[in-house]
Amino acid sequence: MPSEKIYFTGFLTNADASILEVNLNHGFKIEAISEKKGLALISALEGVTHAQASRIIFMDFPCLNPDEKMLYVVSNSFKGIVKTEDDSYAPLFSKVSKFDNKFVLGYLDRVIQLMRLFKEGDLRMPLKYYYYIEKPNTPHIGLTSHRYISREPYNLESSELPDLHKFIEDTKLPFEKPFLQLAFENFELSYETHNISLSFLGTHR
C-alpha cells in the first residue's frame, strides 16, 4: 500500500499573535488560521455543523481569539501507510500512536507546560487531530482534553523570546529534585482547580 501524508493539527487556547514567534523542533510550527477556516476544519473533522463547531472552539474551549478573530494551531505532518488491502486502519493507529507518544506527549506537551511555567496565562492544547485527505471523506483521529481551562490570556513580549527559548532548552521535565517536581505538579493543578487556596499558585509567581 502507498504511503499517505498524515497531518497533525493541535488547537491552542488563550493565544494571540505573539505565539507565532515561538520556535519549535521536530517539524512542529505554530500557525494562525482564520475563524472561517478553523470552523470549516473542525466541522469537517468532527462531522458537525458550523454552529456546533463554533461552540467547540469558542464555548467549550477558548481556542478562538475574539479580538483578532484568529485561531492558533500547532501543525506537523509525517508519512505512513494508513490502511491495509482489507481496509483495516491498524497501520494508521500504530503510526499515530508512535508519533503521539514520542513527539506530542514526549516533546510538544512539555514545551507547552514550560511556556506556562515561564509566564502566566492558561496556554493549552485541548484539541488535537490526526488526519489524511481522502475524498469525499476525511478519516481522522481526534483527541480532546476534559481538563478545566480558564480564559487567562497568554501573551509574549518580543524581548522575552530569547529567555523563553533558553528556558525551554535548559529545563528538563520531570524535575530531578522531588521538591521541585512536587511544586511543579501543584503549579499545574492551580490552573485546573476552583479552590482559592490552590488557585493562587497559578497567578502569583
pLDDT digits (tens, 9 = 90+) for 96-124: 999 999 999 999 999 999 999 999 999 99
Residue 1 is predicted with a pLDDT of 65
85-95: average pLDDT: 87
Residue 141 is predicted with a pLDDT of 82
pTM for the complete prediction? 0.86
Enter the C-alpha cell of residue 142: 481526534
**pLDDT confidence band for 196 (50 / 70 / 90):** very low
Q: In this predicted model, what pLDDT tens digit does every residue of 39-84 receive, in sequence order?
A: 999 998 888 999 999 999 998 999 999 999 999 999 999 999 888 8
Q: In this predicted model, what pLDDT tens digit does every residue of 125-154 receive, in sequence order?
A: 999 999 988 754 566 788 787 778 889 999
Residue 89 is predicted with a pLDDT of 85
Question: First vs last Cα of the chain: how many Å apart?
Answer: 53
Enter the C-alpha cell of residue 83: 490502511
Residue 195 is predicted with a pLDDT of 45
Per-residue pLDDT for 16 more than 50?
yes
Enter the C-alpha cell of residue 17: 499573535
Residue 199 is predicted with a pLDDT of 36
- Closest to 66 (Cα-Cα) out of 14, 101, 8: 14
Q: Which residue has the cell 505573539?
A: 18
159-183: average pLDDT: 92
Query: Residue 62: is it exposed, middle or buried by C-beta count within 10 angstroms (0-12/13-18/19+)?
Result: buried
3-state secondary structure of 145: coil
- For residues 72 and 29, what is the distance between their CA atoms, to the nearest angstrom? 10
Preceding amide of 174 cis, omega within 30: yes
